[in-house]
Structure 1
Amino acid sequence: MAANKMKAIKVSKLGSPEVMTLEEMDRPVPKPGQVLVKIKAAGVNPVDVYVREGHFGSYTLPMGMGGDAAGVIAEVPAGESRFKVGDRVFTCEGADPLTGAYAEYALVPVRNVFPLPDVLSFSQGAALGIPYLTALRCLMIKANAKPNETVLVHGASGAVGLAACQIASAWKMQVFGTAGTEEGLKLIRDNGAATVFDHHDKNHKKNLMDATGGKGFDVILEMLANENLGTDIEVVAEFGRIVIIGSRGEAKCSPVYMMGKEAMCVGVLLMKSTDEEWKRIGDELVKGINEGWVRPIIDQEFPLNQAAEAHKAVMQHTGGSKGKIVLIP
């Protein structure tokens, strides 16, 4: 392959995982405000699935896929002083839609690029962006979580859930987590959840309330609202906050529970972050890496040409998540 060429996953029509194809394209050149990153690992997130299926509006096709990645700076435009060629970095969102992050190289706005300490591998770096920044935005900004409050991470064994357990534990919250397998339960316990629950248990709702002495949870982070929101509304505490991170359909619930408790329910989408929010959560993430309480867990690694298989793995949430799925160019 010529030096000015690269391979990237492209989507020419929205739909099933098979619409993603590996194609050759010209290697792009960064403009002011951008850097070119040589990708060593790309993170695969549920939001990527939603985009590929067309749930977030219209898109200009063909387009690249993904926004999270880790690698090294390959090229910087004249006048860029924040990064230099060879720097280890991780990225979150913002990858040029022509390349995406599922690629050998990606154009990324400097705003969305962060230094990657040597203590983390490139695969771990690719697991940082959306999972950790989403968890941070949920806890810091949407829920305004505080030390000693109770937090239930509903579906905690995936990448965002594990990030939330680590963060909340570091912030001295009382962390409760759910998973659907013994392996998942052990994983969330090892990553900061003091109390864990099997969400397949027929007494799940009662178990949750009993664990809080009938008070309910101050904060609930919900990964699959179409299945769990009805339960969340019943087990949230008075003046509690439910933050919806993921959903794959309609939810059945009784809002009267929210009224009686004056509880709140809000959705979150990382791409809606303001510049101020982006800086706050970015600074906190780098702090967590340096202090050692950010520890990304990798579940599976797929080669770039198996992007469709990686998406299928992300979608199989009922089998029990065990961390992050990444692509290796």
Structure 2
Amino acid sequence: MLRRILVCTAFSACLYFLLLYKSTLLHTPLVTTKMMRAVVVHGPGGPDALVLEQRPIPVPQSGQILIRVHAFGLNRAEMFTRQGHSPGVTFPRILGIEATGVVAAAPGGEFPEGAAVATVMGGMGRLFDGSYAEYTVVPAAQVKVVNASVGWEIMGALPEMMQTAWGALFISLQLKAGETLLVRGGSSSVGMAAAALARHHGVHVVSTTRNESRRELLLASGAHDVLIDAGSIADEARKRYPDGFDKVLELVGVTTLADSLKIAKRGGVVCTAGIVGGKWVLDEFTPNAMIPTGVYLTTYSSSVAAFMETPLDEIARLVDNGTLRIPIKSYRLDQIVAAHGAMDESTACAKMVVLIE
């Protein structure tokens, strides 16, 4: 009898805990982490360092915006970060300093869900994970609503490229109609964008390229004339334009800066705004020797504040209707290695954009 009582008691206890466990399962929702595709760099390297992975979708806090990315442009700054040249960057990191897409969540209520937006800089892809993913989280202060009804391929191409071109021309160089402009590094995406913008504003534009085969591309993008650049163009430029140029946009960087300063006329301005030449720092800088008398040297650096000033909607409409002719080449997210390879070799001859379906 005692044995039967003990067996029954044990059975009852097991049944009780089984029912309790079942009840817990029924009343406690399962928590699942939503995932996204993202391109991750685990350490400095070549294009093959870019690895397509599954990552948790980031969760925005108050003051942050979760953007579902539809398109993002590729930039040489990301190439330098991938190579390990951007100070302060830790790995692993999702690259990408710009993005366009729609608001997926805004805990602080800054933007309605579904609004089309663009964002650049502010630490994206360097201090925190950037846009090489299906979703990205950024501070609300660097997000801008876009109202132009254009495709994602066009909108994705514009934010960083156009804020650099527009800012360098109209903030740093204070370009005006009727002036002459030399774009050093004209076959870069920013160079072609700058030529198109300047010509649209009534400026005579001369662009440079190292490659004779790109002459027609530059003329089609907005340049009135093209100079072939073998590293020094000052003598040839002075033969063809004896008075020099009112403004010079230096996109190659410090490797050609001294030569570009010789091309500006008295009272002219040279703005350095790129590092296409791949070098960051001058070996020597003696202002009296390098800067001609009466020529002014300035710079332009991309920033959130400058991005907010850029008339992105207006520019997007001009690109969409063909007024500004900007060559664009698109890739899928799973083609990111090939895209970075083209950027390393400077073979794209277009603004490269990744589209995410």
Smaller-chain TM-score bracket:
0.7 to 0.9
Instruction: Report how far residue 294 of structure 1 moved.
Output: 4.9
- Tell me which residue corresponds to 1:67: 97
Which amino acid in 2 is paired with 1:208?
A
State how far apart, in whole Å, the 2-side matches of 1:326 and 1:47 are. 14
Instruction: Work out which of the residue numbers 55, 67, 83 in structure 2 matches 1:37.
Output: 67
Deviation per residue, 1:69-91 (Å, 9 max, x gap)? 222222222522xx323333332
Using a 3 Å threshold, how does the CA distance of structure 1 residues 215 and 28 change in structure 2: closer, same or farther?
Answer: same
Instruction: Work out which of the residue numbers 150, 162, 166 in structure 1 matches 2:180.
Output: 150
State how far apart, in whole Å, the 1-side matches of 2:103 and 2:148 are. 15
RMSD: 2.8
- Matches of residues 293-304 of structure 1 in structure 2 within 5 Å? 293-299=323-329, 301-304=330-333
- Unmatched runs of 5 consecutive residues or more in structure 1: none
- Tell me which residue corresponds to 1:92: 120
- Tell me which residue corresponds to 2:10: none
- Deviating beyond 6 angstroms after TM superposition, the runs of 4 or more aligned structure 1 residues are none
- Matches of residues 260-275 of structure 1 in structure 2 within 5 Å? 260-271=292-303, 275=305
Instruction: Work out which of the residue numbers 315, 321, 330 in structure 2 matches 1:288.
Output: 315
State how far apart, in whole Å, the 1-side matches of 2:107 and 2:35 are. 19
Instruction: Work out which of the residue numbers 58, 66, 81 in structure 2 matches 1:28.
Output: 58
Instruction: Report how far residue 124 of structure 1 moved.
Output: 1.6
Instruction: Report how far residue 261 of structure 1 moved.
Output: 2.7
TM-score by length of 2: 0.78
**1:47 correspondence with 2:74:** no
Instruction: Report how far residue 15 of structure 1 moved.
Output: 3.3
Which amino acid in 2 is paired with 1:210?
K
- Tell me which residue corresponds to 1:208: 237
Instruction: Work out which of the residue numbers 256, 265, 269 in structure 2 matches 1:241.
Output: 269
Q: Give me the identity figure in percent.
A: 28
Instruction: Work out which of the residue numbers 308, 314, 319 in structure 2 matches 1:279.
Output: 308
State how far apart, in whole Å, the 1-side matches of 2:178 and 2:113 are. 44
- Tell me which residue corresponds to 1:13: 43
- Tell me which residue corresponds to 2:28: none
Instruction: Report how far residue 182 of structure 1 moved.
Output: 5.1
TM-score by length of 1: 0.84
Which amino acid in 1 is paired with 2:336?
A
State how far apart, in whole Å, the 1-side matches of 2:287 and 2:169 are. 23
Instruction: Report how far residue 62 of structure 1 moved.
Output: 1.9
Question: Which secondary structure does the structure 2 equivalent of 1:225 belong to?
Answer: coil
State how far apart, in whole Å, the 1-side matches of 2:237 and 2:246 are. 12
Q: Is the 8 A contact 1:70 1:123 kept in 2?
A: no
- Tell me which residue corresponds to 2:88: 58
Deviation per residue, 1:169-205 (Å, 9 max, x gap)? 12222211122445532222222211222224x9943
Q: Is the 8 A contact 1:230 1:254 kept in 2?
A: no
Q: Is the 8 A contact 2:291 2:297 kept in 1?
A: no
Using a 3 Å threshold, how does the CA distance of structure 1 residues 115 and 188 change in structure 2: closer, same or farther?
Answer: farther
Instruction: Report how far residue 102 of structure 1 moved.
Output: 0.6
State how far apart, in whole Å, the 2-side matches of 1:89 and 1:99 are. 18
Q: Is the 8 A contact 1:209 1:215 kept in 2?
A: yes
Deviates more, 1:179-188 or 1:102-111: 179-188
Instruction: Report how far residue 33 of structure 1 moved.
Output: 2.8
- Tell me which residue corresponds to 1:111: 141
Which amino acid in 2 is paired with 1:11?
V
Instruction: Report how far residue 311 of structure 1 moved.
Output: 1.9
**1:312 correspondence with 2:341:** yes
Q: Is the 8 A contact 2:221 2:324 kept in 1?
A: no
Instruction: Report how far residue 46 of structure 1 moved.
Output: 0.7
Q: How many residues align?
A: 316
State how far apart, in whole Å, the 2-side matches of 1:32 and 1:315 are. 38
- Tell me which residue corresponds to 2:220: 190
- Unmatched runs of 5 consecutive residues or more in structure 2: 1-31
